[in-house]
Amino acid sequence: MDALTALTHALPHRLLSSLARRLAYSRHPRVRRWLIDTVVRRFGVDLEEALESDPKAYESFNAFFTRALRPGVRVPDPDPRALLMPADGRISQCGPIEGGRIFQAKGRSFTAAELLADAEDAAPFADGLFATVYLSPRDYHRVHMPWTGRLLRTVHVPGRLFSVGPAAVRAVPRLFARNERLVCHFECDFGPMAVVMVGALLVSGVETVWSGIEIPRYGRAVTVKDYRNQRLVLERFAEMARFNYGSTVVVLLPPGVATLAPGLGAEAPVRLGQRLATLA
């Protein structure tokens, strides 16, 4: 375990994330400009892809971080049988869910039941597929639908806010099942699909298109919201949620419905809209 990852075990996660949130939403010109310029320079953000390419035009760091892309910069795979990559970033891991367990890194895994905070919710995904996508600070931070689905419910699971960078993924046991997260359950024409928005250290919020800010709540109890009576359908490739800082999204699929796209593996760079899997 590197020194920074070890330090995060002792840090006051929620306090730091609350402070980061205040900075992210600050409209003070010097604060805003310093934060934006620092991230653009350090991480090589490509603002030519953004709908607003002038960094001075953003009212806050958060507005910059959740920036929209120009039309046509990302397009969905044209094959109608292709499930889509939900975000820009890198594959952390992907593959089969074996014995109910999801691979995290060498020597580390966690169960689907732990990730979803419910064994009954996890049962349909036994022996299915998963893909974990890490979004770095340079990436587009809106998450889109891999497939058309009707929202059934969301589950906000309180937890820690460890970093989700590669070093932490290798070092922290059951990382994604310990961090605060929002589990989104969808009903698709092939069956259930879960999309899990995982919070992280200095993540100042997760927002959905249907309910607004979901994290931070920083509560102690699991919170379930039922949307079954609202007939809320999100189309393939439509925006569903956004991170206010870099984090991770996990997609779970049931067994027998799809095969992962060839060439996907740990650390593979991916772009929103490319093929994640192909329907069987």
Give catalytic residues, as residue numbers.
88, 144, 247
**DSSP letter, residue 179:** B
**How many degrees, rounded to 5, is the angle at CA 143 between CA 9 and CA 56?**
85
CB 184 within 8 A of CB 194: yes
Closest CA to 98 of 87, 107, 109, 90: 109
Cβ-based burial of 278 (10 A; exposed 0-12, middle 13-18, buried ≥19)? middle
Taking the C-alpha atoms of residue 86 and residue 195, their distance in angstroms, rounded to an integer, is 9
| Total number of residues shown for the chain | 280
Residue 267, burial from CB neighbour count under 10 angstroms (0-12, 13-18, 19+): exposed
Of 234, 274, 266, 256, nearest in space to 154 by CA:
234
* Residue 28 φ/ψ, nearest 5 degrees: -65, 125
One-letter amino acid at 114 equals E
Query: In angstroms, rounded to a whole number, what is the distance separating the alpha carbons of residues 207 and 210?
Result: 9
